[in-house]
Amino acid sequence: MKIIFMGTPEFSVPVLEKLIENNYEIVMVVTQPDKLQGRKKEIIYSPVKKLALEKDLKIFQPIKLKDELDEILNVDADLIVTAAFGQILPKKLLERFKAINVHGSLLPKYRGGAPIQYALFDGLQKTGVTIMDMAFKMDSGDIILQGEVPITEDDNYETLARKMSVLGADLLIKVLKGNYESIKQNEEDVTFAYNIKRHEEFLDFYGGYFNVLNHLRGLLPEPAATIVVNGEFYKVYKMVKSDIIKEMKPGEILIENRRMFIKSTTEIVEVIEIQAQGKKKMLVKDFLNGQKSLKSGDYVERRNSNV
């Protein structure tokens, strides 16, 4: 079987690896364009491109897939497999090739580009992976096979995505080697998990501590969560629920004994690891040593979608 594989982040890598291990012929790897990073404009390859180069596979990196379709349409292939590619497949492509997708949720829940993050945001105890037929409408295709993944208290986006991608790779091979009947999605149960927007990277302490900690988990290790205090932006990488009891208002900061606490509407959380703009990531006890930008009584600003 000749396969065009389309994927970009780490989530996609185990899927492509599994196809190669099972001797499927990968005739083209389609992944997002390279990125430029830092002042020196260092070229950053996607994880999928790195693997494709290692395996000496043909690589195609369209800026806009819909404008560069001929490169793919002219390929001799039996199937397209997508796994977190990052662009919508044009209708013309789906008419030319049969296509299946490895999606990081138990569809019809969490259609969209950030299903793993939203499973953590919402505090779910389990999620899963769906192998589905591709349709022109986002993540609306028929379900071929699904598998569940438990979410532990220690999971963040990185650890959960890794477990789900391994499961997704195994499910995909079962589908390619088996004979499964597709079933329609129940449109009444559809929910969405669109790509994370900038304002969703800010922590909101005007909800319960459980919501705050879950939101952070969905943003780790990158881009991490952001808080704003006195107009200054800080990245937060680690927080835990605190057992201290003190009369405080939501968003209020308490600093004592080189420790930093913030009140949610319910409990108080302790910030363990933080990063100021232009500085390196630090433990709070080291960050607070000599700094004057944060003090007890300050408040975390509440952000909105106009950020």
293 annotated as belonging to a binding site for a ligand:
no
108 annotated as belonging to a binding site for a ligand:
yes
How do beta strands 253-256 and 259-263 pair?
A: antiparallel
296 annotated as belonging to a binding site for a ligand:
no
Binding residues for (6S)-5,6,7,8-tetrahydrofolate: 105-108
